[in-house]
Chains A and B, each alone.
Chain A
Amino acid sequence: MKAFLMFVRKEFYHIFRDPRTLLILFGMPVALVALFGFALTNEIKNADVAVLDFDKGVHARQVQQRLFSSGYFGLRDYATSYLDVAAAFRQGHVKLAVVFPVGFSADLDHLGHAQVQLVADASDQNTAISLVNYASTIIRSYAQEQARPTGPAGPRVEAVSRLYFNPEMKAAYTFVPGTMALILLLVSAMLTSITIAREKETGTMEVLLVSPMRQLPILLGKILPYFLLSFINGLVILGLGVWALHIPQRGSLGLLIAETLLYIFVALALGVLISTRAASQQTAMLTSMLSLLLPTLILSGFLFPIASMPVPLQLLSNVIPARPYIVVLKGIMIKGLGLRELWRETLTLAGMGTALLLLALASLKNHLA
């Protein structure tokens, strides 16, 4: 036990005397969360819109009011002809044009339905689709309100869509849990992978193996300091998510922290496994970057929905530790779920951690002795 404590203390010396390690540990996460949280969003806010109103009736005016008070759209141009609209698109200063045909208000009053034309700049197709969807939703809801009192009698079936948990469609809700999972994994795995590779490079690992210290305490002694520091890191990222990016925290904080600790343990065990195989610090760093960054980005469900992937990739996504953790994060924070709903993901994480640690132990025996 004393040897173990000495070992842990030594690891802390290594960490606090190496500015590079400290930078990766505390600088990188904050920078990445800020980047993903604020800059990389697919949210729509005050998109520039041109209006071409041939109708000039009361309904056309009210629809415009709805659109511009929603916060998603901002009036940029009031066009007088199609030529104006085309010119605005060419210059690129509007993303969407709303065209009210002649007789729009009269049609809505007398026939109960009318048409609006939405023209979007599809050179950026994702934005175009979102803009059209947002605008159609607003216009449809207006039309329904107007139609109800005067509409024909009898049952009318309407498809009403409602966005659960995230009615405002905030992008931060998807990005922040994914980013948290990515960063905790990268930072934890990268740092532990470097630390063992460094001892191999300097020859001190040989001396440790010849010493009476067993392999398991060596591995755990390597993991423990990073475990504590990564945990602080995790809290910082959670805090950023909740206070700076306004992610709700609806579930149990204790469970959230426990799951985060479990996930950090998985990441650290992964780092140890990489480092037992890597001969140098550089190899360790590159391996952990390449083998963790891309698969986590692509296969964790962070950027692309898993359900729409080909089956082999879906199967592969099961071994990505970030996948269950993202489910857990979203479950606890956004949906307010508890362990009763999330036990499967929790077990998966625990299983991964144990398996990785055992693999690392076996690998340490084979590759160093």
Chain B
Amino acid sequence: MTEQPIKNPAGPVIKCEGLTKRFGTFVAVNAISFEVAAGEIFGFLGANGAGKTTAMRMLCGLLGPTEGMATVAGFDVFRQPELIKQHIGYMSQKFSLYEDLTVRENIRFYGGVYGLKTVDIRQKTDELLRRLGLEAERDTLVGALPLGWKQKLAFSVALLHTPAVVFLDEPTGGVDPITRRQFWDLIYEAAALGTTVFITTHYMDEAEYCDRVSIMVDGKIEALDTPAGLKKHFSVGAMDEVFLHLARGAKNQE
């Protein structure tokens, strides 16, 4: 649906410096720093409880950081969280569509929430349904669609307002490898058009698909490089081993 390339501000699309979140004495996110370039697919890995979700919530403008600075799409997470919200897309494992609304009603609703014009929504709906091959299902309730279709639809809806960054929180949970592969084709397409993709996952084969990968352990980023670079650095054959090597030393585990 992103027929026109995304206009990105100069410099990195996501930039964190010493970003920290404390809940009482517990440090959930401990001074993380990294940059993500426009059009990059950035894998954000870590065991459950490592602080991924908290970090992602700060970047989405849902949670104020305790210390440090971060900008997303050129806006400050401290001072401009509402502007950030207009320039990001979001999709979670729960695929975030209304099951009792039809495909078209879901698209129209999210289009409206992001302030798109009615004409644009109609045009984008047609485009989107054609690309996903869902034209025959436009008036089907989303609840009646197979999981793989729901996820593809949810991803496309998250890109409806052509955001600069799309945050994907374990988007492929519970689907088979073929559907996952198809889902990644959509991610590549979006990235090729300039959308920055920020993705968390527990599947190590997916980590291999990312341009760069960071691994969080106990609130800190312990490793950040391309998948090939990481494997070389730890002299192992697969991302699985890199992850296990780092995550085994963790103190905060669920």
Whether the pair B90, A206 counts as a contact (CB closer than 8 A) is: yes
- A284–B114 alpha-carbon span in the complex (Å): 29
Q: Which of A169-228 contact B (CB under 8 A)?
A: 202-204, 206-214
For A9, the chain B residues whose CB sits under 8 A away are 109
Asked if B96 contacts A3 (CB within 8 A), the reply is no
Task: Tell me, in angstroms, the Cα distance from A210 to B105 when the chains sit together.
Answer: 20
Q: How many A-B residue pairs lie within 8 Å, measured between CB atoms? A: 75
Q: Which B residue's beta carbon lies closest to that of A217?
A: B113
Name which residue of chain B comes closest to A9, CB basis: B109
Q: Is the CB of B112 within 8 A of A5?
A: yes
Would you call B212 an interface residue if the criterion is a C-beta within 8 Å of the partner chain's C-beta atoms?
Answer: no
Does A18 touch B at the CB level, under 8 Å? Answer: yes
Interface size bucket, B side? 20 to 34
Verify A18–B100 contact, CB threshold 8 A. yes
- Asked whether B203 is an interface residue with its Cβ less than 8 Å from the other chain, the reply is no
A114→B88 CA distance, assembly (Å): 92
Closest chain A CB from B54 CB (angstroms): 11
> Which residue from chain B places its CB closest to the CB of A207 in the assembled complex?
B96
Q: Does B105 lie within 8 Å of A10, measured CB to CB? A: yes
Complex contact B112–A203 (CB within 8 A): no
Chain A proximity of B92: nearest CB distance (Å): 5
| B63/A207 in contact, CB under 8 A | no
| A14 sits at the interface (CB 8 A) | yes
Residues of B near A369 (CB, < 8 A) are: 57, 62-63
Establish whether residues B88 and A210, one from each chain, have CB atoms under 8 Å apart when the complex forms: yes
Pick from A7, A13, A206: contact of B113, CB below 8 A: A7
Contact B93 A10 (CB under 8 A): no
Classify the interface of chain A: helix, strand, loop or mixed: helix
B100's partner among A3, A5, A13, A206 (CB-CB below 8 A) is A13
Contact A10 B63 (CB under 8 A): no
Residues in A whose Cβ lies below 8 Å from that of B99: 202
Contacts of A6 in B (CB 8 A): 108-109, 111-113
Contact across chains for A212 and B113 when beta carbons are under 8 A apart? yes
Chain A residues contacting B179 (CB-CB under 8 Å) are: none
Which of A10, A13, A18, A369 has the most B CB atoms < 10 Å from its CB? A10
Q: Of B62, B63, B92, which one neighbours A203 at CB under 8 angstroms?
A: B92
Whether a CB of chain B sits under 8 angstroms from the CB of A17 is: yes
Would B112 and A2 count as touching, CB distance under 8 A?
Answer: yes
With A3-B112, A369-B62 known to touch, is A10 a contact of B98 (CB < 8 Å)?
Answer: yes
Q: How far is the CA of A207 from the CA of B111 in the complex (A)?
A: 13
Whether the Cβ atoms of A202 and B105 lie closer than 8 Å is no
Give Cα A157–Cα B100 distance, bound, in whole angstroms: 74
1/0 per residue B83-105: CB within 8 Å of A? 00110101111111111110001
Residues of chain B within 8 A (CB-CB) of A207 are 90-92, 96
Residues of the B chain whose Cβ atoms lie less than 8 Å from the Cβ of A212: 82, 85-86, 113-115
CB of B60 within 8 Å of the partner chain? yes
Contact B112 A210 (CB under 8 A): no
B residues near A211, Cβ cutoff 8 Å:
85, 90, 110, 113-114
Question: In whole angstroms, what is the CA distance A345 to B113 when docked?
Answer: 38
A210–B114 Cα distance when bound, in Å, is 11
A-side contacts of B57, CB under 8 Å: 369
Chain B residues with CB under 8 A of A206: 90, 92, 94, 96
Residues of chain A with a CB closer than 8 A to B98's CB: 10, 13-14, 202, 204
Interface centre among B94, B96, B113, by most chain A C-beta atoms within 10 angstroms, is B113
- Chain A 1-34, CB-CB to B under 8 Å as 1, else 0, gives 0110111011001100110000000000000000
Chain B positions within 8 Å of A10 at CB level: 98, 101, 105, 109
Given the known interface contacts A203-B92, A204-B98, the answer about A210 and B60 at a Cβ–Cβ threshold of 8 Å is yes
- Docked-complex contact A202 and B115, CB < 8 angstroms: no
Closest A residue to B83 using CB positions: A212
| Interchain CB contact under 8 A, B108 and A14 | no
The answer on a CB contact under 8 Å between A210 and B85 is: yes
Q: Which A residues lie within 8 Å of B111 (CB)?
A: 6
Chain A residues with CB under 8 Å of B63's CB are 369
11 inter-chain pairs at a CB distance below 8 angstroms, sorted by A residue, are A2-B112, A3-B112, A6-B108, A13-B100, A202-B99, A203-B92, A203-B93, A210-B167, A211-B85, A211-B113, A212-B113
Known: A203-B94, A207-B92. 19 other contacts (CB 8 A): A2-B115, A3-B115, A7-B112, A10-B98, A14-B98, A14-B101, A202-B94, A202-B96, A202-B98, A202-B99, A203-B96, A208-B113, A210-B61, A210-B85, A211-B114, A212-B113, A213-B113, A369-B57, A369-B63
Q: Which positions in A face B, CB cutoff 8 Å?
A: 2-3, 5-7, 9-10, 13-14, 17-18, 202-204, 206-214, 369
Which residues of B are in contact with A by a Cβ distance under 8 Å? 57, 60-63, 82, 85-86, 88, 90-101, 105, 108-115, 167
